[in-house]
Chains A and B, each alone.
Chain A
Amino acid sequence: MEQDMQIYLDYQATTPVDPRVLEAMMPWFTQSFGNAASRNHAFGWEAEKAVDQARKTLGAAIGASGREIVFTSGATESNNIAILGVARMYAPKGKHVITCSTEHKAVLDPMHALENEGWELTVLGVDEQGHINLDELRSAIREDTTLVSIMHGNNEIGTLHPIGEIGAICREKGVLFHTDATQSLGKEDINVQDMNIDLLSGSAHKMYGPKGVGMLYVRRRNPRVRIAPVMHGGGHERGMRSGTLNVPGIVGFAKAMELCLEDREGEQAKIAAIRNRLQERLSSSLSHVHVNGDENNRLACSLNISFEFVEGESMLMGMHGIAVSSGSACTSASLEPSYVLRALGVGDELAHSSIRFSVGRFTTEEEVDRAADLTISTVKKLREMSPLYEMAMEGIDLSTVKWSGH
């Protein structure tokens, strides 16, 4: 891959490791390689100390204590432990759980797994901006509800759920609240006390840390959350997640968090400005574009935009060297258009025409300008080739056309 020519605008998929993070990790591979669970020698003590320091850093970042942080292999595992672990532990209280339709598959799939095991599942719908209705949430909570899982920032459209308000409802109703904060950790203001969050999932590689390490915050007081282990074994992480700790990864995760918090608001404002520059260029040069999600309340990095009358995969083909994602069916393994965009009720055709741009710490104005230029020329070229654009220009309302389908 000729990386010099490539422009990376897919920060919601993953981020590069910050060189300062890598530097902090290096000694923990070859010199200080001990197993944090080795209690009887210096190698182990050294590793354990580093892990405990990382716990404190990551806990403090969300208003928690280090002892409430469980290290995992990533947010998928954190979500699985939170959902399956809580549901199974609290099964005697009830077997009803609640989530929403735009969650990541790492939440939806364990929820559906519970359903197959006899739990009842309520999946809340969302409005056109990707928000759940809080009254609907309130009335969905029942006597036998044990867990509500609603994400913070959406990975496709960037919409931020009001997790503080959701937490308050859950607390008032006496049910546990889990939030998947994979996209927002280190970026948005999160405080598990103020927001009444009982469990929170995060991942290092979305915030300039390494892949393969994640965390799960598990509240210890008011209330003390208990979890049935999903991973059985040596009893690491107070029995909640067995398995040797990834010490270099954990050190890197904490370093990444430190860097994010150095000037969190300043960095997020800068990232939002670059995102807005891209959005402005695209919307001012092209007609018939739709920003998906909640423009006023979304992750700073995120721009999900549909270009009417052109199909996403064909756009990606034209945008050489620009690394982005599409909600088009043709770009997904399942050959289905994005379920998140479909959940917004904006029409499948807009899902097929969507591109997700996500910018980050290392994105420059020059890069988004080049990406915008190439996107604009590609959309124009493909619209010249699009029968839908031609019909729309002729004044035909495409929603009234009887299509043959296939």
Chain B
Amino acid sequence: MVYSDKVIDHYENPRNVGSLDKEAEDVGTGIVGAPECGDVMKLQIQVEDGVIKDAKFKTFGCGSAIASSSLATEWLKGRTVEEATEIRNVDIVEELALPPVKIHCSVLAEDAIKQALADYQNKQGDEPVSTEE
């Protein structure tokens, strides 16, 4: 597999690897994928006044899966919860120049973002922010 420089950069220097306290009220956690499928992503956000202050990830998967989740955390930081729902897998594909066989990695990252946001909103007792266009 020949990867783009951006994928290699995220793999070599992953941004925001780590974990936040999944029990905390201001933290939303998304875990998607399955070990037997070869990829599992955990993505977490910490929200303050409606703005994502911190984001962390841990990923079991190929280089594209690691890069997709690393990029997602970079994009999430500083966005409002509302704005975070606008991140689409196609944007990740474009930014990382993922080949067609790796598009599922970007889909997984988008799913992880959605799940983390939903978990956060659930904890707040909010209605989930609509992700419809």
Contacts and interface: CB of A to CB of B under 8 A. Distances in A.
Nearest to B58: A387
A330 B33 contact: no
A405 B37 contact: yes
B34 A387 contact: no
B66 A314 contact: yes
Interface stretch (A84-92, A266-274, A344-352): A344-352
Contact of A385 (B32, B33, B38, B59): B59
B1 A387 contact: no
B17 A330 contact: no
Main secondary structure of the interface of B (DSSP, over half): mixed
Interface string B74-102: 00000000000000000000000000010
Interface stretch (A37-45, A144-152, A159-167, A305-313): A305-313
A389 B59 CA distance: 10
Contacts of B41: 387
Nearest to B102: A330
Most chain A beta carbons < 10 A, residue from B35, B40, B58, B111:
B35
B72 interface: no
A31 interface: no
Interface residues of A, number: 29
Interface in A272-313: 309-311, 313
A139 interface: no
Given A387-B31, A388-B35, A405-B33, A331 B60 contact: no
Nearest to B112: A404
A406 B60 contact: no
B19 A328 contact: no
B20 to A, nearest CB: 12
A403 B101 CA distance: 22
Given A317-B3, A390-B19, A398 B35 contact: yes
A387 B3 contact: no
Contacts of B53: none
30 contacts: A309-B60, A311-B38, A314-B61, A314-B62, A317-B11, A317-B63, A328-B38, A328-B62, A329-B38, A337-B38, A348-B35, A348-B36, A349-B35, A349-B38, A352-B35, A352-B36, A352-B38, A385-B58, A385-B66, A386-B59, A386-B60, A387-B31, A387-B40, A387-B58, A403-B36, A404-B31, A404-B34, A405-B33, A406-B34, A406-B108
